[in-house]
Amino acid sequence: MVGQGFDNKRRPQRKEKGKFMIKAIDTIYNGYKFRSRLEARWAVFLDYLRIKYEYEKEGYILSDGTHYLPDFWLPLSAIGQGGGFWLEIKPQELSTNEILKIEKLVYETGHNAFAFVGNVGLGEFVINVWFLDRKEKIVNTRQIKDVEYPGDNLWDFYGMFGYNDRTVEDAIVAARSARFEFNQTAF
């Protein structure tokens, strides 16, 4: 398997840049098998806010031959039929390769994208944003750093859904409190 290795006890581990890392725990939540607890926690967050999503809806082969499976599709009927956003969840800062893949995905599918980088919690994550202009060229790629408090630039994202500070804070608490070990519900 590409990107996989085995330690001396034959347990699969992810390989990243020449070193082995512990594999994330697959997590069942809301009928989906998430590849990590982090993705499942962000799903709890979206559920609390009643933001509809589809997890790993469809994979793509990008124009350069790269295979890409976006984490979430957020079908937002408020922006028109077929409208929506891609949402990527990452535990750490995006690599140049990951950024380029997301840019290609946005350009080739015609849908904007967000990447939440880090844990669910104020001061613990960063939002990256990719938007298309009318000529379908990516013109706005930006990062909202260190979202630390309600009313921060975070509301560029949540404001379009009409959420207030308290609702988002409650969604963060629900996501951070979720336990998945014994098919427990999130909230």
The reply to whether the predicted model has a pTM over 0.95 is: no
At 150, the pLDDT band (50, 70, 90 cuts) reads: very low
Q: Is the pLDDT of residue 31 over 80?
A: yes
**How far apart, in whole angstroms, are the C-alpha atoms of residue 109 and residue 87?**
13
Residue 186: predicted pLDDT: 60
- Over the stretch 65-98, which tens digit does the pLDDT of each residue have? 999 999 999 997 655 456 788 999 999 989 999 9
Q: Is the pLDDT of residue 134 over 90?
A: no
